[in-house]
Amino acid sequence: MPTAVGGQFDAGLRNGLLALRRDLHQHPELSFAEARTAAQLEAAIRQFATPAGDTVSVQQVAGTGLVARIPGLSRSAPVVAIRGDIDALPIQEDTGLPYASVNAGVMHACGHDVHATWAIGAASLLARRPAHGDVLIVLQPAEEIGEGASAILASDALDGVSAIFGAHVDRRFPVGQVVAQAGSLAAAADTFSITLRGRGAHGARPHESADPILGAGMLVVALQSVVSRRVNPSVPAVLTVATLQAGTASNIIPDHATIGGTLRTIDPQTRTLVAEEVRRIAHGIAATHGLEADVRIELGPPPIVNPEREAMWAHAAAVSLVGSNNVVPLGITNMGGEDFAYYMERIPGAFLRIGAREAGGEPTPAHSPKFFADDGALFIGAAVLAETARRASAALATR
């Protein structure tokens, strides 16, 4: 760990954050059910956000979310925010960690145990060396279902915030590397569901049916032409059919079939085009097979595109802590979604990636039963986010 990072964490804080991370990992909770998690985090922020002590206010918002205010040097200065998400995924853990999940079918397969912990770490660092203005620590529920950020915003707890910053662990990068750059960092994450309704019949007499399974099969294939033939090849897009439900028995043609999946795009024009093509193709296939199509597209988080100014503050903070050689480009177009984008629709900000792969480790993908983030990532994340908040606060105060 770089000296500029490690030197900020004394033994008590370091051990406390490690214990908190392990506790959160061992007791994961699903979106909007993070009651124990929120209680542990509130206790931790009151314990570690010193020397501010009892001047730290903690507000419960959005059900299981928390917003804590770490006082700055000037209470009249612009306020900035740091967000850490706290929910887990419905996955059975298979890491073999000594602190593996004890909740069957639930695990922190996306690193939110680390995100929550580094937010507490950042709060402690900011309490010890304050920013120019106050900093809000946002502990957000329900990122995994794309609803938590909207719920936090609806609470009005972030009204008046001038800038917001967040980050995500990433095992494609080793511990010590940070991605802090302007431009595209995550894609819009929309979902679709298409129900084809026809006429059921005996499996031995298919001519008496309007077969929705045949239509669904043709539709799955036809939808693959959207990205390959309708989207400009220079623009990234993903259309994945992930579910197909139909039928109850091998000798019955059902009267309906439903497919569903995800649409990922990085610009508004392509986002609109892909949705329109899904509708057009679904209705066309349905008409061809004598079916009716019910097409539903639910818009999820928009893309994350870091603006130059906020990314510059984050980049400078990262360089000061891990060195310029370790502030690296993302190197890919990330088609994953992230509901931090909702904050950035209303508040200027930037989103970072924090290396989380241990020495000699493999780049295990997130949302995998074997995913975990190395402990070192939480100290890098805490230090970089705290320093980003300080630099943003100082810059905003001089405008």
Nearest-5° Cα angle at 159, 89 to 187: 40
Cα-based distances in Å from 102 to 29, 85, 92: 11, 20, 10
- Contact between 197 and 292 under an 8 Å Cβ cutoff? The reply is yes
Residue 144 is labelled as binding a ligand: yes
- Strands 201-202 and 183-186, by their bridges, are unpaired
Own/partner pairs, 96-104, CB within 8 angstroms, 24+ separation: 97/25, 97/372, 99/22, 99/23, 99/25, 99/26, 100/25, 100/26, 101/25, 101/26, 101/27, 101/28, 102/26, 102/27, 103/27, 103/28, 103/29
Residue 283 is labelled as binding a ligand: no
- Contact between 74 and 130 under an 8 Å Cβ cutoff? The reply is no
Residue 27 is labelled as binding a ligand: no
- Contact between 114 and 377 under an 8 Å Cβ cutoff? The reply is yes
Token pair 């990068």: residue: 173
Residue 358 is labelled as binding a ligand: no
| Alpha carbon 150 to its chain's center | 13
- Contact between 301 and 339 under an 8 Å Cβ cutoff? The reply is yes
CA atoms of 379 and 350, how far apart (whole Å) = 19
- Contact between 219 and 285 under an 8 Å Cβ cutoff? The reply is yes
Residue 367 is labelled as binding a ligand: yes
Residue 212: asked if its preceding bond is cis (omega within 30°), the reply is no
- Strands 183-186 and 304-306, by their bridges, are antiparallel
- Strands 349-357 and 178-179, by their bridges, are antiparallel
Residues sharing a CB contact under 8 Å with residue 191, sequence separation 6 or more, in sequence order: 260, 261, 262, 263, 297, 298, 300
DSSP code for 287: H
- Strands 256-265 and 188-197, by their bridges, are antiparallel
Annotation: binding site: 110, 112, 144, 168, 367
Annotation: binding site for Mn(2+): 110, 112, 144, 168, 367
